[in-house]
Amino acid sequence: MNKRKKATIHDIASKLGITASTVSRALNNHPRISDATKKLVTKAAKDINYQPNNIAAALRNGKSRLIGIIVPTVNRNFFSSVVRGIEEIANQLNYKVIISQSYENFEQEVQIVDTLLSARVDGIIMSISKNTENFEHLDRVKEKNIPLVLFDRITDSVEVNQVVIDDYMGAYKTVEHLIANGYKRIAHFTNPRKINIYSERMRGYIDALKAHGMEYDQNLVIESNMQLEDGQQCVKTMLDQGLEFDAIFSSSDYAAMGALQALKERGIAIPAQVGLAGFGNEPFTSFTTPSLTSVDQVSIPMGNVAAELFFELLKADPKKYVPQKTVLKPDLIIRESSTRTPSKPNSTPNSK
């Protein structure tokens, strides 16, 4: 299998009849090496297609100038925007970024952590999979003193730098907005997994209801995987079961979109009969009819902060460093799907 063998400094050395150490110093522009030798070495390196080996350099000094990012999927505006925010900072510092996807699969997440470590990234910035409940792979990263930063989907089981938005406040403000628009039976779409983002949004939902003297009815909390089809199905089930509701606050824009489609299909007017709000501010939320109220997760700033925490950690002494948690304020983006005159009496779909 010689055909893919890489040229080394030894090849240059034997070609020129000098030592490998002289070649190395020539390539690194060492002052003790003559310009004539440097020229010879540079030419020989080019002739045999020698590639200065950054990885070998990384093995020596622990710096590959490469950050590994792990996200559940890049096919969500939120995650790809956080990556962009990370790259904005990384590129200024001449760092490059490589991305891997866990596809919400725990095994895959563990494997790509190992892949990135083997690729000698200088550190990892990641958002954990919905299904991750065991965090030994993160402990391994920490034990090796490899900088690790978590964003959005975090865990308190590992002491590391974390960046989140205030999911509780995002949910609270959304529900408060729905109440101000006269909605009285507000359903909540959530995910049964025990990860921070969904439990915090649920907490915000419940507290906002209570703060406004409204009953918290567990029947109005609908669990699903919150994809588009789940949103459609949840609405159909709610309608078919005769559940009384006049608004939906969905922890996912995709499920909110599915709800919008199913409600329109049944001839239910949005926002007149049912108000609707999502979470994530995916670009399509401004394209729908009616446009969809949603919570913006300030993804670019989140990426910026994650990168800044990463570089802070990179230059710190890991033994003395105290991990930080940064909490960013989300923005409620009010659009047509939840805006109506609250004084106007409206009938809920199942109350005749």
| Interacting residue ranges for a second copy, rule: CB under 8 A | 1, 3-6, 49, 51, 53-56, 59, 61-62, 64, 66, 68, 73-75, 77, 80-81, 83-84, 87, 91, 96-101, 103, 108, 111-112, 115-120, 143-146, 257, 261, 283-284, 287-289, 317-319
Q: Write down the least CB distance from residue 115 to a second copy, Å.
A: 4
The residue type found at 92 is: Q
Q: Write down the least CB distance from residue 45 to a second copy, Å.
A: 13
Query: Which has the closest alpha carbon to 293: 226, 257, 250, 338?
Result: 338
Q: Write down the least CB distance from residue 23 to a second copy, Å.
A: 17
Question: How far is residue 84 CA from its own chain's centroid?
Answer: 11
The smaller minimum CB distance to a second copy, of residues 169 and 307, is found at 307
The smaller minimum CB distance to a second copy, of residues 3 and 194, is found at 3
Q: Write down the least CB distance from residue 57 to a second copy, Å.
A: 9
* Structural element, H or E, at residue 332: strand 331-333
The smaller minimum CB distance to a second copy, of residues 204 and 258, is found at 258
Beta bridge partners of 150: 126, 162
The smaller minimum CB distance to a second copy, of residues 1 and 322, is found at 1
Residues 330 and 302 sit within 8 Å (Cβ to Cβ): no
Phi and psi at 168, nearest 5°, equal: -55, -50
The smaller minimum CB distance to a second copy, of residues 99 and 169, is found at 99
Q: Write down the least CB distance from residue 43 to a second copy, Å.
A: 16
The smaller minimum CB distance to a second copy, of residues 196 and 293, is found at 293
Burial class (CB in 10 A: 0-12, 13-18, 19+), 210: exposed
- Residues 7 and 12: their CA atoms lie apart, in Å, by 8
Q: Write down the least CB distance from residue 287 to a second copy, Å.
A: 5
Burial class (CB in 10 A: 0-12, 13-18, 19+), 333: middle
The smaller minimum CB distance to a second copy, of residues 111 and 324, is found at 111
- Residues 193 and 295: their CA atoms lie apart, in Å, by 20
The smaller minimum CB distance to a second copy, of residues 319 and 352, is found at 319
Q: Write down the least CB distance from residue 121 to a second copy, Å.
A: 9
Residues near 203 by Cβ (< 8 Å), separated by ≥ 6? 168, 171
- Residues 193 and 322: their CA atoms lie apart, in Å, by 29
DSSP string, 102-117: -TT-HHHHHHHHHHHH
Q: Write down the least CB distance from residue 269 to a second copy, Å.
A: 14
The residue type found at 248 is: I
